[in-house]
Amino acid sequence: MTHKEFGDFGEKFAQKYLEKKKYKIIETNYRIKSAEIDIIAYDKNTLCFIEVKSRSSDLFGLPCEAVDVKKQQKIINGAMWYIAQNGIESEIRFDVVEIFATEKNDKLKVKKINIIKNAFTN
């Protein structure tokens, strides 16, 4: 399984998980020239810009640690563009969803999922 396939699996799993938690998914894989946002969703009245990070272990650190200041700034810039283009006036939040999954017999199984709300601020 490629790194991209593993990441895509994590994003799809996160989307389904968030929907079960009553998030209303607005966009997935939102792209502008300088940024990509994995999931844009409403959690009640708050618009959330969500970065999904999938890992098979924490051997090289937690998934959320991969969302460094540079990545955060790109997400914030993308969010500001999205807000301006869509006339959004609600509260916003930046979250990170961590997916821990293992592969066995070419199938992925999620061991743990963690939502970090307000993972960083704008």
What pLDDT tens digit does each residue of the chain (122 aa) get? 788 888 888 999 999 999 999 999 999 999 988 889 999 999 999 999 999 998 887 777 787 888 899 999 999 999 999 999 999 999 999 999 999 988 887 788 888 999 999 998 75
Around Cβ 7, how many Cβ atoms within 10 Å? 16
> Is the pTM for the entire model greater than 0.85?
yes
Task: Provide the Cα torsion 28, 30, 36, 39; round to 10°.
Answer: -30
